[in-house]
Structures are given as structure tokens and as C-alpha cells.
Amino acid sequence: MKPRTITLHGHEVSYREAGEGEPIVLVHGITGRSDTWLEVLPVLAERHAVIAPDLLGHGESAKPRGDYSLGAYASGVRDLLAALGYEHATVVGHSLGGGVAMQLAYQFPERCDRLVLVSSGGLGREVNALLRAATLPGSELVLPLLVSAGLVGAVDSAIGVLGRLGLRGRPDLEEMWRGFCSLGDAEARAAFLHTLRGIVDIGGQRVSATDRLYLAAEVPTLLIWGERDRIIPQAHGEAAHAAIPGSLFEVFEGAGHFPHRDDPARFAATLSDFVATTAPADLSDESRLRELLRRGA
């Protein structure tokens, strides 16, 4: 389960890989990294080949000055799978990773066996106010002050005291705090702002896949949401489920924005069962795509 590295297009990409069987690729959210999947990865690897990358600009992967659009991220995941010898996979995306997963399925349908969207972005306008605020002009000047070593050290100390008292924060708080701390690195901060401003503005999410969800009818699709998600509303998942014929929708009671962390056992079982009970998509027939595009939603 330890991270490995591979050089793609001159940039180091960090990833985790384990298991054998039908491949599953796990794509994290903004400011996230592959270790968000550590509690589910070993279970999934009992039956599947599992690949979990750090997207460029995140985690241990390179943080070049370049393209941080959804299309570039999707191409990066495609290239990683190809370099590791996987022709196709079930694509699982959390939050920003959901947008990447949908973009990959749209750009490279032959690579996507199934689509799993976990508290996914790109399905509606609403998003947490803190993310909207981070897109404002001047945030690149404010963020370094907010993630100063003094502030991070003070909060880390307080968290350490709570841990010694046997108190543990919710996964949402742990993941968001860890993501926030990652912005202390100037290159990671620049990648974060480039990514965020490409998909969110002060009014909310500005990139939406809702006008193309009818194409997902050809791909087995599972949506998973936390009942208490305060980052992206559950209503986005419900609307997407209604728009994708044949899709499945699972709500994790009591979970927040990271259902795979709130209930990893249920998450792994739900995902494994979905793969076992559905046939991979076959989108090799271009005439079918032409028919769908002409007919529209």
C-alpha cells in the first residue's frame, strides 16, 4: 500500500497500487491525496486491482506550473492507467474527483467500465461558502497568512491534546484540516487556486455535467452521498440519479462529505457488490454514441 512513483510527461506522479482482478481507480478530491482511501483500499484489493493516484498538484505528485482543468486531470488518470498496463477500469471519484471521473468517462468512454460518484462536484451550483471565498481576487495573498507555521502548529498542538484525551475529530474535520495544511506549500497552493478557479466562482460551481448526464445511461453508474454533507448538497446526487436511467443511489446515514472515511466497511462492500453485479460498459460502437448525441437528453 506504500506510495510508488512513475514519471509521466516529465513529471513525477505518486500512486498506490494493490491487488488483482477487475481494476478500480480511486480519484481523490481537491487538496486530497491517495491516502484518503487507505481504509477501503486493502478490502477492495482482496478482489480487485486498485489504483489510487495523487493527482498532479496534490500529495506527493509533482506540482508544475501548467494545466489544472478537469480535462487535464482526466487525461492524467488515463495516462497513468495506460502506463501501468490497464486498458480500462471502474472509475471512482470523490468531490473534485467525481468531476474528473465524469470528464474521463466523457473524453475516453472506452476506458470507463463503470462510473462511481462519491459526494461529487459538477452536478449543481451550490458549494460550501469557504470554497467560493477562496476564488476571490487576493486570496493568493491571504492564504499564506492563514496557513502560517504558527497557526498550523497551534492547532496541531490542540488536536494532539484532544487525541491524548481519547477524543477524535470527525473524518470531515480531519480531511479538511489536512487539506488546508497542505496549502502551506507554495506550489500546492498555486495548483489549488488554479484548480478551484477553473470550477468554482463566488456564485458557486461554474462547471456542470448535468446537460450531458443522459450519456451516462450507457455506463453502469453508482452515486454515494453522505447524509450530512455540508460541502456539496445531497440534493445534487438525487437530481443526478433521476437524470441517469438505471443508476443506483446510496445515502450513508450520519456520514458527511467523506462517506468512505465515515463508514469504510460499508463503502467497500457497496462498491465491490456494484462491480460484481453489473457488466462493464461497451462503448466501442460509435454509431450508438452518434445516435445518443443526435437524440439528446
- List, run by run, the mean pLDDT of 10-residue segments along the chain (297 residues): 94 97 97 96 97 97 95 97 97 98 93 97 93 90 72 50 48 86 90 95 92 87 96 96 94 96 97 97 78 78
Task: Please report the pLDDT score of residue 148 as a whole number.
Answer: 67
Residues 215 and 190 in one domain: no
**What's the CA gap between 155 and 276, in Å, rounded?**
43
Residues 12 and 95 in one domain: yes
Residues 56 and 22 in one domain: yes
Task: Please report the pLDDT score of residue 178 as a whole number.
Answer: 86
User: Known catalytic residues?
Assistant: 95, 229, 257
The cell numbers describing 218, all together, are 450507457
Contact by Cβ (8 Å): 116, 93: yes
- Residue in 179, 191, 176, 276 with CA at minimum distance from that of residue 231: 176
Buried b (16+ CB within 10 A) or exposed e, 11-44: eebbbbbbbeebbbbbbbbbbbbbbbbebbbebb
Residue 38: HSE in the Cβ half-sphere, 13 Å Cα cutoff: 11
Residues 87 and 216 in one domain: yes
Q: What is the pTM of this model?
A: 0.91
For residue 296, is it within any domain?
A: no
Of 178, 200, 222, the position where a domain reaches its end is: 200
